Structure 1
Amino acid sequence: MPLTIEKYAQNPIIFPNGKDFRKVVTFNPGAIYDNGKFLLYDRAACTLSPFRTAIGMFESEDGKNFKPVGDQPVFTSEMLGYPEGSVQDARVVKIDEVFYMNYAFQPYGFDCFPTGEGVPFYDTSKYQNWEKCPYPMITRSGIATSLDGVNWEHLCFTSPEDIDDRDHALFPEKIDGKFCLLRRPMDFVGEEYGTDRPGMWITFSEDLFDWSQPKLLATAQEPWEGEKIGAACNPIKTSRGWLVLYHGVDSEIVYRVGALMLDSNDPTKVVARSKDPIMEPTEYYEKCGLVIPNVVFPTSIVEKDGVGYIYYGCCDTSIGLATVAIDDLVNSLFND
């Protein structure tokens, strides 16, 4: 029986509203179900020049109809001491009554324009502070914490400042007493790293500050995965292991989604993996957008009553929802 992932008929569920900090785009949301509500954290911008994103917040009773929490972002680059920068792509878990938000961080401003070719044009020429970095557009990753899901504080960085390292995602519980983190360092390529292309790596920590030597977890294998893959969502625990959604980009710059399963007790081991994509752009809002076309980019999957709510960015412009029976998705990986 083929896997069925149903895209919500009223997608996009969140889109630019024409007035506040998400005037131009709202996409790549982190989400979590807590205390009877779905909490969603979007990446939003009010202009393309400069293209500077912050993280906002929505809440919902049913996971489909969301309302904003306040009229200001809940996490910004100013909170890190970088007023020109951007924070983006929140991924949120709750461990021992503390909310943890993985986020990506670009320290300085830039302009972003659509090209119609699948890759946006990024211009840093007006922003001289990029000269301080090893190369323009470098992206670092960090963790912010909150006790209520609304008020956030930066805790630590989870990657060094001299490499591009994003798609960080914490596991929602400790494993053998340690935090576990997925990451995608673009610079970990070559004979010394055991891979000729950027892939997904895994690392552990007792305190979130000192991390073990990263171990290569997975790299692109199929043509649709292209030359790099990265974690899409925080893993969720199932009866057969840790379910991880990931993204791949093919040679035509089409973003698709795959899934893999990690061993319950040893998540450094991949025990099952999809051969074909489980999601790809099919709808108008996934094929046409303000910045980049042909993109489905999940950054969260929330399980409730056996159903996975997949929240994803559409063309760096709006937010879509897809649902799937978790058991069906898991079983499909072992039957693929």
Structure 2
Amino acid sequence: MKLTRHENNPIVVPGGAEWRRAAVFNPGVVEADGKYYMYERAAGSLRPFRTSIGLLESEDGVNFRPVADEPVFTADMLGFPGGSVEDARVVRIDGTYYMCYALQPYRFDCWPTGTGLPAYYPDNYPEWRENGVEPMITRSGIAASEDGIRFTPLCYTTPAEIDDRDNALFPEKIGGRFALLRRPMQYVGEKYGTNTPGIWISYSDDLFEWTEPELVAVAENPEWEGTKIGAAATPVKTDRGWLVLYHGVDAHSVYRVGALLLDLDDPSRVIARIRDPIMEPETYYERFGLVLPNVVFPTANVMVDGLLYIYYGCCDASIGLATVPLYELLDALTGGEDRA
């Protein structure tokens, strides 16, 4: 099972406004009223490496143009001037847009190393020490909007004291409750049932109070997902289960894409999983990036005439698009089970 890269890749690149001139990546995308709205993560520099969420739109899901001259969501809106908001995953439920985001509250620098992971350097900025926050810790939350443009912070979905990101909200309630995939980095060890960070799930009646997370999936294939896995794009409801694309990271910090199915009524239960990655870095824009090489990182899914459009970040530098017929992917997961 392999995905097809779009011939125009990368479909979105940095440039233009000062706040997005260094990098654009890891977008959320939602289709509404005949248009596709992309919520890109954008950086204007590496020193400091501050990111915000910008908005683009498209009629065909491929050719995007900016909607606004300024970001639509920033850390300033959360009371953290100089901080970063990252990796928007957006769904529309009952007419309201909900944006899952990750927050790093203070500034830091980002340095290429040429050896895989970049060097994140917060020591130039005293805010971390002054506020007693562990450097580079990331908290997640949800912002809401009625028009998809003006977002208001709604709630935090994770505690401030742990590093918990890769939050993805299911696009509809399950059993009358909101459901959210998470990746708490500190939840490892015998107590948690996993030796590496994995995918967890929490539920809420109102988006403000969340249940303690339950473990959903852990790394199973050390050769490509041995150090951690996390939810990638927003779950997609199918007649066979909730389709979840996830990212796996190996010992050399190479990011690949896996796929699994969760039970429709009990999404804490994995019912199918493909053993091998369905996508890995191959092209130049996926292997050579501004700070981080060898990364394909999908953060959005949209169904278009039977094709699953998968939007992904390329090496923390640009945005690509890959497609796959939905039922080819489901057949690969379930062995060609009859369609309901």
TM-score where L is the length of structure 1: 0.98
Query: Matches of 1:330 and 1:91 in 2, distance apart?
Result: 22
Q: CA deviation at 1:54?
A: 0.2
Q: CA deviation at 1:305?
A: 1.7
The 3-state SS of whatever aligns with 1:313 is strand
The residue aligned with 1:52 is 50
Query: Matches of 1:210 and 1:74 in 2, distance apart?
Result: 26
Q: What are the superposed Cα offsets for residues 147-185 of structure 1, whole Å, 9 maximum, x if unpaired?
A: 000110000000010000000000000011100000000
Q: CA deviation at 1:19?
A: 4.2
Query: Matches of 2:217 and 2:117 in 1, distance apart?
Result: 25
Query: Matches of 1:197 and 1:14 in 2, distance apart?
Result: 33
Q: CA deviation at 1:335?
A: 2.7
Aligned residues: 334
Alignment of 1:204-283 (within 5 A): 204-222=203-221, 223-283=223-283
Equivalent pair of 1:120/1:291 in contact (CA under 8 Å): yes
Tell me, yes or no, if structure 1 residue 24 matches structure 2 residue 11: no
Q: Which blocks of at least 5 consecutive residues in structure 1 are unaligned?
A: none
Which consecutive segments of 4 or more residues in structure 1 shift more than 4 A?
none
Letter in structure 2 aligned against 1:175: I
The 3-state SS of whatever aligns with 1:74 is coil
Equivalent pair of 2:254/2:294 in contact (CA under 8 Å): yes
TM-score where L is the length of structure 2: 0.97
Q: CA deviation at 1:20?
A: 2.4
Q: CA deviation at 1:61?
A: 0.6
Q: CA deviation at 1:213?
A: 1.8
Q: CA deviation at 1:18?
A: 5.0
Q: CA deviation at 1:4?
A: 3.9
The residue aligned with 2:304 is 304
Equivalent pair of 1:56/1:74 in contact (CA under 8 Å): yes
Equivalent pair of 1:233/1:244 in contact (CA under 8 Å): yes
Query: Matches of 2:300 and 2:14 in 1, distance apart?
Result: 19
The residue aligned with 2:290 is 290
Tell me, yes or no, if structure 1 residue 122 matches structure 2 residue 120: yes
Q: CA deviation at 1:17?
A: 1.1
The 3-state SS of whatever aligns with 2:18 is coil
The 3-state SS of whatever aligns with 2:191 is helix
Letter in structure 2 aligned against 1:29: P
Q: CA deviation at 1:303?
A: 1.0
Alignment of 1:162-241 (within 5 A): 162-222=161-221, 223-241=223-241
Query: Matches of 2:113 and 2:132 in 1, distance apart?
Result: 26
Q: CA deviation at 1:135?
A: 1.8
Q: 1:187 to 1:133 in 2, by over 3 A?
A: farther
Q: What are the superposed Cα offsets for residues 119-157 of structure 1, whole Å, 9 maximum, x if unpaired?
A: 101111111111224421000000000000011000000
Letter in structure 2 aligned against 1:328: E
- The equivalent position to 2:41 in structure 1, one of 35, 43, 57, is 43
The residue aligned with 1:77 is 75
The residue aligned with 1:63 is 61
Equivalent pair of 1:144/1:154 in contact (CA under 8 Å): yes
Equivalent pair of 2:17/2:69 in contact (CA under 8 Å): no
Query: Matches of 2:120 and 2:127 in 1, distance apart?
Result: 15
Moved more, 311-320 or 300-309: 300-309
Query: Matches of 2:135 and 2:118 in 1, distance apart?
Result: 15
Equivalent pair of 2:30/2:90 in contact (CA under 8 Å): yes
The 3-state SS of whatever aligns with 2:9 is coil
Moved more, 191-200 or 315-324: 191-200
Letter in structure 2 aligned against 1:198: P
The 3-state SS of whatever aligns with 2:20 is coil
Query: Matches of 2:17 and 2:179 in 1, distance apart?
Result: 39
Query: Matches of 2:267 and 2:17 in 1, distance apart?
Result: 44
Moved more, 102-111 or 132-141: 132-141
Alignment of 1:93-104 (within 5 A): 93-104=91-102
Letter in structure 2 aligned against 1:154: P
Equivalent pair of 1:20/1:71 in contact (CA under 8 Å): no
Q: Which blocks of at least 5 consecutive residues in structure 2 are unaligned?
A: none
The 3-state SS of whatever aligns with 1:21 is helix
Equivalent pair of 1:232/1:298 in contact (CA under 8 Å): yes
Letter in structure 1 aligned against 2:255: Y
Letter in structure 2 aligned against 1:295: V
Equivalent pair of 1:52/1:84 in contact (CA under 8 Å): yes
Identity of aligned residues (%): 60
Equivalent pair of 1:45/1:54 in contact (CA under 8 Å): yes
Pairwise CA RMSD: 1.0
Query: Matches of 2:39 and 2:133 in 1, distance apart?
Result: 30
The 3-state SS of whatever aligns with 1:137 is coil
Query: Matches of 1:133 and 1:33 in 2, distance apart?
Result: 41
